Structure 1
Amino acid sequence: MHLQPERDHGFQIWWKLTRPHTLTAAFVPVFLGTVLALESTDLNWPLFLAMLLASILIQAATNMINEYYDFTRGLDNEKSVGIGGAIVRNGVKPQTVIRLAFLLFGIALILGIYICANSSWWIAAVGLVCMAAAYFYTGGPLPIAYTPFGEITAGFFMGFVIILISYYIQTATINSVVMLVSLPVSILVGAILLANNIRDLDGDKENGRKTIAILLGRKKAIYLLAAMFAVAYGTVVVLISTGIVSPWLFISFLSVPKAIKATTGFIGKTMPMQMMPAMKATAQTNTIFGFLLSIGFLIGYFT
C-alpha cells in the first residue's frame, strides 16, 4: 500500500526543488579545497564565497534538470519517493523548472566570470565542462545517470575537480597532495549517487536504466557501497602513515558510525521509503567526513 505524499506549500515547494540534502556535496569540496590552500596563502574571501555560491547553484540546477527530464520521460509520478516533487505533486509547470535551472546556471556563469577575472581564464573552460556534465547527467539523448558511469562522473566533477579549482583560485597552483586528498571525498560523492541508485533500483530497471546498482544487483551494490566507504577511510590511513598529511586527519574517522548506518540501513530493505534513512546517512557521511577532514587540516596548521 502506497501512502500519498503530502503536497508542499509556498516557499517549501521551491526549497525542496533544490533538493537541499544534496547541496552539501557542493559545499564540502569547496570548503576542503579552500582549507588546503590556507597552508600557503591567506584566504581570499570574495573568491571563496563566489566559488561556493557557484557550486551550490550548479548543484541545485542539476537537481532541477533531473526533475524536469525524469518527469518528461515518465519516470516520476505522484507516488515517487525521493524526488523534489514540484512538478508531479505541487503542480509547478515543467517549463518553469527548466527555466529556473538555466537561470541558476546563468548566475553561476556570472560568478565564474568574476572568478576567472581574478584568477585564470583557464577556469572558464573547466567550468563550462562542469556545467555541461551537470546538464547531460540527466539531459540529452543518452543521460549519464542512465548508464553505469553516474557515480564516477559525479565523484570526478563534484569532488576532484571542484576541490582542485577551489585550491587553484586561491594559490594559482596545483600539487599532488591536493589531488590525493581529493580522492576520498570524490569517492564519497560517488557513494551518494550509488545510494540513490540502490534505493531506486527497481523503478530504474523498469524504465530501462543501466546503473551500476542494476548491473550488480542490490546485494552486490550494497557491498560496493561498503567498499567505497572502506577505500575512502583507507586512503586517509595511507596518507597519514606515509607522512603526506597530518595525523590530525584521523579526526575524520568520527564519521565512521554514519557510514556503518548507511551501509546496514540498506540490508534487507526493498521498498524505497525504507531505504531513505540509509540514503540520508550516506549524504551525511560525506558532509561530516569532509568537514572533519578540513578541521583536521586546520588543527595541523596551527599546532
Structure 2
Amino acid sequence: MIKKFLKFVEIQTKITSTFAFANTLMYMLFLKQPINIPLMIIFCIAAFIFDLATTAINNYIDSKDYPEMLPFRRDVSLFLIICMLAVSTVMGLYLAFKTGIVVLLLGALCFGLGIFYTFGPMPISRIPLGEVFSGIAYGMFIPFLMVYINNPDEYIILDYKNGVLSVHFMLWPLISFLFFSLVNTFTTSNIMVANNTCDLEKDVAVNRHTLIFYIGQKNGVRVFATLYYLCYAAVIAMVALKILPIIALIFLLSFPLVESNIRVFRKEQIKSKTFITAIKNFIIVNTSYFIALTLSFLMYR
C-alpha cells in the first residue's frame, strides 16, 4: 500500500520542495530572523502534502484513457487526492488565521497554480507559462511564505485605520529576498525547460503548446544554459550588494560540473539520455547554494 502511494505521488520528484525548504531555512538563520518552529513545521507539512497532491492530480488526469497506469483504482486515487487537498487546505487556513491575510492570499494563489497546472480546459503545463510558473511557485512563493509566517513585519505591513487599509512594502528586505530566490527559481524552471525540450515532438502530437513549441529546441537549449548562468550571476550580485558575505562565492566552485552537464544537453536532447542533466544540475547548484548559505551563517553569526 505504501509503495503504491509513493509511486502515485512520485516521491522521487519531491527534491524541488525539499531544497526550497532547506535553503530558505538557512537564509533565515543567516539573517538571524526569528523562527516560529510550530508554524514552520505546519507550513512545511502542508506544502509537502499539497505538492504530493498536485503530482497525484497530474497522474490521475494523464491516466484518464489508461486507468492501468495508476497504482490504485481511479475512485481510490480520487479519494486520496481529496484527502491530501483537504489536509493541506485545513493546515493552510490555520496558518492564515495565525499570520494574516497575506498568507491567505499567497496560499490561495499557490493552491490555484497547483490545481490548474494540469487541470482545467487550459492547464498551465500546456501553455508557454508552465516553465515560468513552476519556477516561481517553488522558488519564490514557497520560500516567501516561509519567511513571512515567521517575520511578517519584516516584509509587508498591513494597517487598517478609520476605514482605510494601507500596505507598506519593506523594499530592501523584499529586494534581498528576490535575489535569494532566483537560484531555486531558475533551477526549478530548468527541469521543466529540459523536459519540454526533450518532449517537443511528443507535445506537438498531443497539442501541448509549451514555451519550447514557440521558441524551438535550439533556443530551448539556450534558455536551459542561460538560466544556470543567471544563478551564478545572482549569487555574485548578492555578494556585491552585501546581501551575502564573500564566503558565499564558494558557490562558484560548482560551475565546472554544471557547465559539463550543459554541454551534454547541448549535444542531444533525448529524454532517456540527457534529461537527467537537469536533475543533476538541480542537485549540484542547490547543494552548493545550501553550503554557501551555511558557511555564511556559521562564519557571520
In which range does the TM-score fall when normalised by the shorter chain?
0.7 to 0.9
The alpha-carbon deviation at position 246 of structure 1 amounts to: 1.2
Structure 2: gaps spanning 5 or more residues: 156-172
TM-score norm. by structure 1 comes to 0.83
1:276–1:58 Cα change, 3 Å: same
What residue number does 2:6 align with?
Answer: 15
What residue number does 1:47 align with?
Answer: 39
1:120 aligns with 2:112: no
Distance 2:47 2:296 in 1: 22
Q: Any idea what the Cα deviations from partners look like across 1:153-193, whole Å, max 9, x if unmatched? A: 11112111111111111112222211221122211111121
Distance 2:33 2:142 in 1: 18
Matches within 5 A, 1:93-132: 93-132=73-112
- Number of residues of Structure 1 aligned to a counterpart in Structure 2: 281
1:177 aligns with 2:176: yes
Q: Any idea what the Cα deviations from partners look like across 1:215-236, whole Å, max 9, x if unmatched? A: 2222221121000000111111
What residue number does 2:57 align with?
Answer: 65
Q: CA RMSD in A?
A: 2.3
Moved more, 251-260 or 166-175: 251-260
1:270–1:156 Cα change, 3 Å: closer
Matches within 5 A, 1:130-279: 130-172=110-152, 173-174=154-155, 175=173, 176-279=175-278
1:280–1:36 Cα change, 3 Å: closer
Distance 1:99 1:71 in 2: 15
> One-letter code of the match for 2:3?
Q
> One-letter code of the match for 1:11?
I
Distance 2:41 2:300 in 1: 22
Distance 1:258 1:135 in 2: 35
The alpha-carbon deviation at position 262 of structure 1 amounts to: 3.8
What residue number does 2:162 align with?
Answer: none
Matches within 5 A, 1:69-88: 69-72=61-64, 87-88=67-68
The alpha-carbon deviation at position 97 of structure 1 amounts to: 2.7
Structure 1: gaps spanning 5 or more residues: 1-9, 78-86
The alpha-carbon deviation at position 90 of structure 1 amounts to: 5.2
The alpha-carbon deviation at position 123 of structure 1 amounts to: 0.7
What residue number does 1:26 align with?
Answer: 17
Distance 2:61 2:274 in 1: 23
When Rg is computed on C-alpha atoms for both structures, the one with the higher figure is 2
1:294–1:215 Cα change, 3 Å: same
1:160–1:91 Cα change, 3 Å: closer
Q: Any idea what the Cα deviations from partners look like across 1:85-134, whole Å, max 9, x if unmatched? A: xx544552234333322321211122213322332243112111111110
Considering fraction of residues, name the structure with more helix. Answer: 2
> One-letter code of the match for 2:35?
L
> One-letter code of the match for 2:207?
G
Q: 1:151 touches 1:194 (CA, 8 Å); kept in 2?
A: yes
Q: Percent identity?
A: 20
Q: 1:262 touches 1:278 (CA, 8 Å); kept in 2?
A: yes
Distance 2:68 2:176 in 1: 45
Distance 1:91 1:20 in 2: 14
Moved more, 214-223 or 231-240: 214-223
